[in-house]
Amino acid sequence: MPRFITITNTSDIGPGERDIFEVEDLYIAVFNVGGIYYAIEDICTHDDGPLVEGDLDGFEIECPRHGARFDVRSGAVRQMPAVVPVKWFPVRVEGDAVQVGLDD
Ligand code: FES
Parts of the chain with a pLDDT under 50? none
**In a mutational test of the pocket of ligand 1, which residue from 40, 42, 45, 46 has the highest number of ligand atoms less than 8 Å from its CB?**
46
Atom of ligand 1 nearest to the CA of 49: 1
pLDDT of residue 16: 93
SS3 69: strand
Give the CATH architecture of domain 3-102. Answer: 3-layer Sandwich (2.102)
Q: Is 65 in the pocket of ligand 1 (CB under 6 A)?
A: yes
Output the pTM of the full model: 0.96
Domain boundaries, the chain: 3-102
Nearest to residue 31, comparing CAs of 46, 12, 44?
Answer: 12
Strand ranges (E), the chain: 3-9, 18-23, 26-33, 36-41, 55-57, 60-62, 69-71, 77-79, 88-89, 91-94, 97-102
pLDDT of residue 104: 78
